[in-house]
A and B are shown apart, each in its own frame.
Chain A
Amino acid sequence: MLQFILRRLAVMIVTMICLTLVVFYLVNLEPNLKKLALEQNNNRMTEEAVESWLEKEGYRRPLLERYAEWIGNAATGDFGQSTRFRKPVDEVLGPRIGYTGTLMFWVMITMVPTALLIGVLAGMREGSKTDRSLSVVSIASTATPEYVSGILFTVLFASWLGVLKGVSKAGGIDFNNFALPVMTMAIYGMGYIARMTRASMAEVMTAQYIRTARLKGLSFRAQVLRHALRNALIAPFTVIMLQFPWLLTGVVIVEKLFNYKGFGWTLVEAADNNDIDLLLSCSLVSVVVVLLTQLISDIGYAYLNPRIRVS
C-alpha cells in the first residue's frame, strides 16, 4: 500500500512539472507577453517601449532558465508576484481558495445526500414508476450546464419571485445570496452521482445475499437499509471523489455568473490579464486537486471494498 501511494505521488510530481511547463510555455508566447506589457504600462506603447520593458523585467531570458527559476522558488514556497493585483501570489490566492472552499463545502453538503437519496430510491425497485421518473430528473439535471441553470434560477427566484439574490459577495455569506450559486452547482453535479448510485443499487438488489435476506422474510425496508445500502454505496464514492475536478470548472462558471470573488474568479482575472505567476499557481492548485482526489478515490475504494487489492 505504502509503495503504491509513493509511486502515485511520484507520478503526480512528474505530471505537475509537465503541466506547469506547458502553461509556462503558453503564457510566455510572444503575443501574450506583448499583452502583458501593454496591460502593465499603457495601451499606446510603441514597439520599442514594449521590447525594452520586456527586456528590463527579465522576460527575454531563455524560457527554460526562467522556468527552472520559477520551480526552484515555488519549491521553497515563493510563488512570485501577481502583476494583476500587484501583491505576492500567496496573499492573493490564499483567501480566494478559502472562499471557494466554503462554496465547495456547501455544494457537497447539499449535492451528495440528495444525489444518493435519489439514486437509492430509483435503484431499489428497478423499472418501477419512481425509477423512471427519477431517472428522467437526473438526466435533465446532467443536461443543464451551470450557465443555463444559473440564469434560469436567477430569472425565476431573483427576478420573478424576488426572494434570493443574483449576486453573492465572497466573505459576507447568508442564505439569500449564497443559495443560488450552491443550488446551481449542486444540481448540475447531482444527476451524474444519482445515476451511478442507481446503477450500483440496482445491481446489488439482484445479488444473492439480498435474495437470501428476502427468503428469510425480512421486510423490504430491512433488506434495503441493512443489507443493500452499504454495498451499493461503494461505487458512488469513487464518482463523488472524481467530481472535484469537474467542480473546478463549475466553480469558474458559477463564480463569474454570480460575481463571487473566489478561486475561479481569480483564475479568469489572471488569464484575462496574462498574469504569469498567478496563472501558474492557479494551474498548480487545480492540478493538485485533480490528482489528489484521484489518489484518495483509489485508496478509499480499496479500503471500502476489501475484494479490491491495489497492485
Chain B
Amino acid sequence: MLEYIGFFDIWATVIARFWPVWLSLAVILGASYHFRRSLSLYGRLFDSRIGMVGLVIVLFWILTAIFADIVAVFDPLQQFAMLKRKAPGVIDAETGQALLFGADNLGRDLFSRMVHGSRFVLVIAPAATLFAFIVGITIGLPAGYYGGKIDAFMSFLANLVLAFPVILLFYLLVTPGIRETPIPIAMAGFFFIFPIIFFGVLFYSRYATRPGLLAVQLAGTFLVGGWLYSGLVFNADPLGIITLAPNELNIFASVVFVNSPTVFRIVRGITMDIKTRDYVAAAQTRGENAWYIMLWEILPNARGPLIVDACLRIGYTTILLGTLGFFGLGLAPESPDWGSMINQTRAFIRIVPTIALPPTLALAMFVLGLNLLADGLREQSLKD
C-alpha cells in the first residue's frame, strides 16, 4: 500500500527544500536595498511595488537554477516504476522521501523535474536574448543612422523573417533532419560572429588613437570571442568548459534568428529618433567617426527602452522555448524542460488533474515575474 503525506506537509517540505534559495534571496535583496541609492536604475526598482515583486520572482528562479542539485529531491531522470502517475505527496518506499508534486507518466518526480527544468530555460533564454540584441543592435544602428538603401534592404529582410509564422519556421528549422545538414552550424556561425564584430568595432571606434590600449582590448575580444565561438559553433572548446549539444545549438541559433529582426526594428526606430538630438550633431561637428557616434553616443542613450525590452524578450523567449517543448521539437524526449514536461503530461490531466500543474505554473510564474520587472523598470526609467 502506498503512503502519502498531507497537504500541509507537502508545502512545508517544498518551502524547506528551497532553503539555499531563500537564504541567498535574503542576502541579495538585503544588500541591494542597503546600497540602493548607488545602484541607479536597479536601485530605484525598490521604489516600485510591481517591480519589486517581479525582481523577487525572477531572482527566485535564477537561484533555483543555480541550486537545482540541492533543491531537487531526486534525479530528474530517475523513474519509479511503482509510482507512475501518482498524486502529490506519495512516499517512495526505498528512500522514505516524498514525491512532493507527484510522479509523471513514467514515474519521475515532478518536483525535481520542475526544479531542474529551470536550468534549461535560464541558460538558453537570456543567452539567446543577448545574442539577438547584439545582432539587432549591430544591424539596427547603421540602418537607422544612415537610412536610405541600407535601411530599405535590411528592413525588407527583417520583415521577411517576421512575416513567417514562428511555429512554421521552427517546424522547418528545428528538426532532427536539419541537423544532418550544415544549416544549423552555418546559421550559428553567422549569428555568433556578430558579438566579435560588435566588440571589435566598439573598441576600435573609441580607442583607435591609443594603439597600446586598443591592442590589448582587441586581443582580449578575439581571444575570448574565438574561444566562445569554437565552443558554441563547433562544439570544440579547447578547454572543454563550453559544450552545446547539436540539438541545443539548433534551438539556440533558431531562437536568435527569430528574435533578432524584432530587436533590429526597435533599435532602428530608437536610432532614427536619437540621431536628431543635439549631442549627435555636436559629435558630427567634431568630426567623429560614424561608428563612434552610433556606439558611444546613440547606444548608451537608448539603453532605457532596450533594457525594458530585454526583460520582456527573455519572457517571450521562455514562452517560445516552452512552445518548442510543447510540440516536441528539437529537445531530447527525457529532457526536463518545462515545455516538454507539459507536452508529456497533458494527456493524463483527466486521470490526475495536478500532473501538468508544476511546469505550467512554474513557466507562467517566471514569465509573469519578467513582465512585472519590465513594467517596474519602465516606470522607474520614465521618472528621469
Contacts and interface: CB of A to CB of B under 8 A. Distances in A.
Contacts of B371: 139, 142-143
Interface string B362-378: 01100110111001000
Contacts of A169: none
Contacts of A35: 177
B127 interface: no
27 contacts: A15-B160, A19-B160, A26-B173, A26-B178, A29-B181, A29-B183, A31-B181, A32-B177, A136-B50, A136-B372, A139-B372, A145-B319, A145-B322, A145-B323, A145-B363, A148-B363, A152-B357, A152-B360, A155-B354, A155-B356, A158-B350, A159-B350, A166-B350, A249-B165, A249-B166, A249-B323, A271-B168
A267 B363 CA distance: 26
Interface in B160-191: 160, 162-168, 171-173, 175-178, 180-181, 183
Given A19-B163, A31-B175, A151-B357, 12 more contacts: A15-B160, A18-B160, A23-B168, A26-B173, A26-B178, A140-B368, A143-B367, A148-B363, A159-B353, A248-B167, A267-B168, A282-B168
Interface stretch (A208-216, A217-225, A286-294): A286-294
Interface residues of B, number: 46
B346 interface: yes
Interface in B310-361: 315, 319, 322-323, 326-327, 339, 342, 346, 349-350, 353-354, 356-357, 360-361
B323 A147 contact: yes
Contacts of B24: none
A245 B183 CA distance: 26
Question: How many of chain A's residues touch chain B, expressed as a range?
Answer: 35 or more
Contacts of A245: 163, 165
A179 to B, nearest CB: 17
Nearest to B375: A139
A31 B178 contact: yes
B13 interface: no
B159 interface: yes
B177 A287 contact: no
B367 A154 contact: no
A23 B172 contact: yes
B165 A143 contact: no
Nearest to B363: A148
| Majority secondary structure of chain B interface residues (helix, strand, loop or mixed) | helix
Interface of B: 50, 156, 159-160, 162-168, 171-173, 175-178, 180-181, 183, 315, 319, 322-323, 326-327, 339, 342, 346, 349-350, 353-354, 356-357, 360-361, 363-364, 367-368, 370-372, 375
Contacts of A139: 368, 371-372, 375
B60 to A, nearest CB: 15
Nearest to B370: A143
Interface of A: 11, 15, 18-19, 23, 26-27, 29-32, 34-35, 135-136, 139-140, 142-145, 147-149, 151-152, 154-155, 158-160, 166, 245, 248-249, 252-253, 256-257, 264, 267-268, 271-272, 279, 282-283, 286-287, 290-291
Nearest to A195: B375
Contact of B163 (A135, A143, A145, A291): A291
A39 to B, nearest CB: 12
Nearest to A248: B165
